[in-house]
């Protein structure tokens, strides 16, 4: 192991609860060097030994009696710990719950638009809360809301499962769906494959100037819509006035001209 030159102790402040070198103030400690137990010795002697090897004396078990210390390269230890934490963060997936709102009469293009983004969220590993917002007398026909939710579940059946069945929360009918196992991995593989095909087509286009590869055309709306957030997707559903509307209030269609 390559350490620092003898006599140069690491004076950096250690992480909370971890004491090193001259910050270890107990009179004697149990010392470990690599995997060898050196036994109990005076702290000043262990410090001298660590300094001679160009390493640090690190207290690893402060509650033991006497405390246990290891002679090691503290800088290398910190680097390896940081790498372990970074790898753990990569492995851990952060699951968010996105909310997409519907009206009882949502259908056609609006339904396709919302389902497209629901599938995007699911393929990203997120759960999706589906909310049907009722307005005025619409709430007296909950079956229309159920039809909307069932339609969404049907369109996402290949990648999603129902995690929470529909229930009423005020003027909203709520259902939660979650991605099926393996959905995220398959979506990532599909994106990589699509990127590889696009790169190949681009290379072919460069090799044949004047000829345009058919598959490179992308609808302009697709690029603009791919990264929409929940507020933009839900912009067509207003709730501010709905919460205050009485249950027997007439719909706008019921008001005589």
pLDDT, mean of residues 243-256: 42
pLDDT of residue 240: 56
Q: Which of 134-148, 158-172, 238-252 shows the lowest mean pLDDT across its residues? A: 238-252
- Average pLDDT of the chain is 81
Q: Which residues does 244 contact at the CB level (< 8 Å), separation at least 6?
A: none
Q: Is the pLDDT of residue 253 over 60?
A: no
- For residue 228, what pLDDT band results from cuts at 50, 70 and 90? confident
Q: Which of 104-113, 131-140, 236-245 shows the lowest mean pLDDT across its residues? A: 236-245
Name the range with the highest mean pLDDT among 58-67, 86-95, 98-107, 211-220: 98-107
pLDDT of residue 91: 65
pLDDT digits (tens, 9 = 90+) for 73-99: 988 888 888 888 887 776 665 778 999
Determine contact, residues 166/173, Cβ cutoff 8 Å: yes
Cα–Cα distance, 159 to 103 (Å, whole number): 23
Determine contact, residues 149/175, Cβ cutoff 8 Å: yes
First CA to last CA across the chain, in angstroms? Answer: 89
* Percentage, residues of the chain above pLDDT 70: 77
More confident residue, 184 or 169: 169
pLDDT, mean of residues 129-158: 95
Q: How far, rounded to the nearest angstrom, does the alpha carbon of residue 17 sit from its chain's CA centroid?
A: 30
- For residue 211, what pLDDT band results from cuts at 50, 70 and 90? low
pLDDT, mean of residues 208-225: 52
pLDDT of residue 250: 42
- For residue 247, what pLDDT band results from cuts at 50, 70 and 90? very low
Distances (CA, A) of 11 to 62, 74, 208: 19, 10, 63
Three-state secondary-structure class, residue 92: coil
pLDDT digits (tens, 9 = 90+) for 115-124: 999 999 999 8
Determine contact, residues 122/236, Cβ cutoff 8 Å: no
Question: Which domains does the chain possess?
Answer: 1-75 (3.10.20.80), 97-183+220-244 (3.30.110.10)
pLDDT digits (tens, 9 = 90+) for 16-48: 557 899 999 899 999 999 888 899 999 999 999
* Percentage, residues of the chain above pLDDT 90: 48
pLDDT of residue 216: 44
Q: Token pair of 169, please?
A: 């929360």
């Amino acid at each position: 192991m390559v350490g620092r030159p003898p006599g140069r102790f690491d004076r950096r402040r250690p992480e909370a609860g971890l004491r090193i070198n001259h910050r270890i103030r107990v009179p004697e400690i149990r010392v470990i060097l690599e995997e060898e137990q050196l036994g109990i010795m005076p702290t000043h002697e262990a410090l001298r030994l660590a300094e001679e090897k160009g390493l640090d004396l690190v207290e690893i078990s402060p509650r033991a009696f006497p405390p246990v210390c290891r002679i090691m390269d503290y800088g290398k230890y910190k680097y390896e710990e940081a790498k372990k934490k970074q790898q753990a963060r990569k492995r851990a997936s952060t699951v968010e719950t996105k909310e997409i709102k519907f009206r009882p009469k949502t259908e056609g293009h609006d339904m396709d638009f919302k389902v497209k983004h629901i599938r995007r969220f699911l393929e990203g590993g997120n759960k999706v809360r589906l909310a049907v917002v009722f307005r005025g007398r619409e709430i007296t026909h909950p079956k229309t809301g159920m039809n909307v939710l069932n339609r969404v579940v049907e369109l996402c059946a290949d990648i999603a499962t129902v995690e929470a069945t529909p229930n009423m929360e005020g003027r909203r009918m709520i259902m939660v769906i979650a991605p099926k196992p393996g959905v995220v991995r398959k979506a990532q593989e599909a994106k990589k494959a699509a990127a590889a095909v696009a790169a190949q087509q681009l290379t072919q286009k460069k090799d044949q100037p004047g000829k345009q590869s058919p598959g490179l055309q992308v609808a302009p709306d697709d690029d603009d819509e791919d990264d929409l957030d929940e507020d933009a997707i839900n912009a067509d559903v207003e709730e501010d006035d709905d919460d205050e509307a009485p249950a027997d209030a007439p719909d706008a269609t019921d008001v005589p001209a």
